């Protein structure tokens, strides 16, 4: 863990996450069912940086319940990392600073649709990966069992 108390990512995972990759964000709906959305992301000081339009359906989910999960897939879909954590910062971004940053990361150009956005930083509490650190699953969390594979802890 680092000084913020969240799960520390090994250098190999940080390197994997520095590349623009396909990601799917899961939030919790009002009825407690999961909702998933493909999205762009970046890492900022060991936290996930995400953004969305101010009228996005996931925004009320995040405001009501800040717990999220994200899976980032490698070129080989059997190489992925899943992260879970909590939104600790959420702010209006009318100038699309974060959207433009993410668009430059993924497309090389600023985002063309100039709608107001809301951006967020997610503290990573736990991670699970397959095919990146070993052929078996690895876990990291203050509450997770030692690395060694097997089923996900409950």
**Per-residue tens of pLDDT for the chain, all 154 residues:** 333 445 688 888 999 999 999 999 999 999 999 999 999 999 999 999 999 999 999 999 999 999 999 999 999 888 999 999 999 999 999 999 999 999 999 999 999 999 999 999 999 999 998 888 765 555 555 544 444 333 343 3
Domains and CATH numbers, the chain: 11-139 (2.30.110.10)
Asked if residue 114 lies in contact with residue 96, where contact means CB atoms within 8 angstroms, the answer is yes
Q: pTM for the whole thing?
A: 0.83
In whole angstroms, what separates CA 128 from the centre of its chain?
A: 12
In whole angstroms, what separates CA 76 from the centre of its chain?
A: 19
Name 27's bridge partners: 35
Both tokens of 27, joined, read 């939030």
Q: Which 3-state string (H, E, C) describes 127-139?
A: EEEECCCCCCCEE
Alpha carbon distance 63, 68 (integer Å): 11
Asked if residue 20 lies in contact with residue 40, where contact means CB atoms within 8 angstroms, the answer is yes
């Amino acid at each position: 863990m680092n000084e913020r108390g969240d799960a520390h990512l090994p250098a190999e995972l940080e390197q994997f996450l520095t590349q623009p990759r396909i990601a799917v964000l899961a939030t919790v709906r009002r009825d407690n069912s999961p909702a998933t959305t493909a999205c762009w992301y970046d890492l900022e000081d060991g936290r996930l940086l995400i953004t969305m339009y101010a009228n996005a359906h996931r925004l009320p989910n995040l405001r009501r319940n800040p717990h999220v999960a994200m899976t980032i897939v490698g070129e080989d879909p059997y190489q992925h990392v899943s992260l879970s954590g909590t939104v600790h910062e959420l702010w209006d971004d009318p100038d699309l600073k974060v959207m433009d940053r993410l668009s430059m990361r993924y497309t090389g150009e600023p985002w063309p649709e100039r709608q107001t956005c809301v951006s967020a930083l997610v503290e990573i509490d736990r991670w699970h990966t397959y095919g990146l650190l070993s052929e078996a699953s690895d876990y990291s969390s203050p509450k997770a069992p030692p690395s060694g594979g097997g089923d996900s802890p409950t």
